[in-house]
Amino acid sequence: MECDCDYILPTIDGWEEHYQNCSTRWLKDHGTEPLKNSDGTFRLRNKHLTRLTRDVLYHLGFDNEHYDLPAMFGDVKHGMGIPSMTILLQEVIKLLSYAKARDPIIIRIGTSGGLNIPPGSVVISSWGLNGTLKKSYDIPVMGKIMEIPSIFDKRLNQELLHLASEEKGFSTFIGGTMAADDFYQGQARLDGPFCDYTESDKVSFLKALVELGVKNIEMEATAFAAFTREAGLRSADVCVTVINRLEQDQVTPSKSVLLEWQERPMVIIGKYISKYYERINK
């Protein structure tokens, strides 16, 4: 089986040879037929869907019988930023398949709390870490916990970091991201309505995360990485940090500063999209 990576940037020494959804790598890693079709579209893993004459994407207000999804969404590259996000994400994954979108890349941009890096820095997530410090999204399915690995595409991250390195006004890091199920206790904050641990406990926990390679904390990375990887799609999580959690818990920068910082992930992704269209329009 031949490589079918649709490279955005030429390979640089030290970079991954393939994207993680390359058919050659997929067969090696999963031992199953690749989900990616030869034309860049992708198939869904759920064989039960083939029995449906009409699949209603309830939360999006579409179905694949009454709407011409290829015409509406076939050329769309979604960029969206755990429970409510996964409802939307799973329907978007189905929509992209029904729309026959070719080589889609899903990128989440947002804000996060940084760990031992300056506020205003951007973090490109290499993997998601859940609240029990595992690199997986754990979801109860029929009374049992299903553990889905939460790893992002290394080659895609290398390309994004290469483009980000051209920006001189802020720093960009690649590292792990903890995805908490809660904003307060789940992120070891001291300013929530409930707290039965000490400041020393908090600092020790955050330092332990730093030792594990975690650069930031948010609330989506594990599920986002897990579901896109399971679907055979490339994805990236690019977030600006608005605070250094080793120094404080509350987000205190002014609104104008926060708005300026929030543009930084979009600058990087904008460059990537530009490179993408340069490639396909050659």
Q: Is residue 4 part of a domain?
A: no
Q: Is residue 8 part of a domain?
A: no
Find the domain containing 90 and state its range: 23-280
Say what the alpha-carbon torsion angle 82, 84, 90, 91 is, to the nearest 10 degrees.
Answer: -170
pLDDT (tens digit, 9 = 90+) per residue, 113-127?
Answer: 999 999 999 999 999
**Mean pLDDT for the stretch of residues 72-76:** 79
Distance (Å, whole) CA 129 – CA 136: 6
- Residue 193: pLDDT band by 50, 70, 90 thresholds? confident
Cα 273 from chain centroid (whole Å): 16
**Where is 72: in which H helix or E strand?**
helix 69-73
Q: Is residue 3 part of a domain?
A: no
Number of folded domains that form the chain: 1
Distance (Å, whole) CA 52 – CA 216: 41
Q: Is residue 12 part of a domain?
A: no
Q: Is residue 159 part of a domain?
A: yes
pLDDT at 60: 81
Q: Is residue 16 part of a domain?
A: no
pLDDT (tens digit, 9 = 90+) per residue, 51-62?
Answer: 889 898 867 888
Mean pLDDT for the chain overall: 93
pLDDT (tens digit, 9 = 90+) per residue, 90-140?
Answer: 999 999 999 999 999 999 999 999 999 999 999 999 999 999 999 999 999
pLDDT at 268: 97
Residue 241: closest CA among 159, 139, 125, 152: 125
Distance (Å, whole) CA 52 – CA 28: 31
pLDDT at 194: 86
Q: Is residue 7 part of a domain?
A: no
Q: Is residue 141 part of a domain?
A: yes
**Mean pLDDT for the stretch of residues 159-184:** 96
Residue 38: closest CA among 97, 82, 92, 102: 102
CATH code at position 254: 3.40.50.1580
Q: Render the burial of 87-105: b for 16+ CB within 10 Å, e for the rest.
A: eebebbbbbbbbbbbbbbb
